[in-house]
Structure 1
């Protein structure tokens, strides 16, 4: 029996109409659909495809053992997640080895800060794997501001709100345009780093880009409360123009 294929399918930033034609086709035809989620939640990826799955599709919910309960630098965090990814990789690989195609739903793009990457590295040498790219959340976010993010020879830097504040400020200062992901509870740190870099007055906060809950505001008006999970801070470039 020939092995089935594992498809890492990017669903885009949140609006189902921004899903690629290929992603739509694979989702609607899938016999086995896997998706990541936090325990007790429906999962954003699964919510995005509501009404699209075959009635007989087998759903595989892959529930994280930890999310924010343990600090990122705690060895237990990496250990828990490593065991989790190894376990689900074995399950997905076994399904594919039995001949089943498995569609893994991925928020945004599968190869851009996504959980699918950890599954991909564990199964790609055992069964066929195909990755379907998608529009990223940051692309939807800067589009939502109505302002081009880069001009001419602007340098764009993508940062994580979980980084040390000093590192954030240094990289922000060196870049022409900035995208900060993983904002959430790190919003005050991101704001301070932008102030240190002299870019706070040009920063925007975009929450839930392309989704029904989308909110776009200057960062100065956002306050210091934690931002929703799907939030991005942007600084647009001001580079060369004809």
Structure 2
């Protein structure tokens, strides 16, 4: 799962990034209105943590842009402005939640997980596809009741493909989502192939009822057998 943290206060940003990374999220950052607007316009995220007061503009304007572009990211407003007016404005513009500073990281993590479950997995704690079961929070995978041991990138690839099942996922989108936004500057995506190859083998060896199909020159699609 990839998260964008939009926060201008350096210490708070560092704390958020470190805490989220410990939870095994891929974390990108923006520290002002312009850079945040550019990131949400170019890249896709699973969840955005959004401060309202930013250098150069308002976080509420970023929410308006997300709505205008019909983006599907979950958004949690994280702000020191604990006013009913701001809360209502943010929720009306499409934010999923509102968390006032200061807060405990445990509460933030709980709210992020809740948004991800609602947005990606219909509110369910476990993802079920044919005989494949995934626990996104614990990073565990089973085929029927047999555990499948995956490395970090293999798990991230699988979860991303499952959340986009039966859809064609481009190599660029997959690389950005699993390895980070700046990966689009890479000369090629050879590093993806070995991870996909290993993941396919593990799924096949365990008798998974899903298959990763390669669409030559474009990307990948996860389908049930």
- Per the TM superposition, whether the score is higher than 0.5 is no
Q: Which has the larger radius of gyration?
A: 1
TM-score (norm 1): 0.29
**As a proportion of its length, which structure holds more helix?**
2
RCO higher in 1 or 2 (8 Å CA, sep ≥ 6)?
1
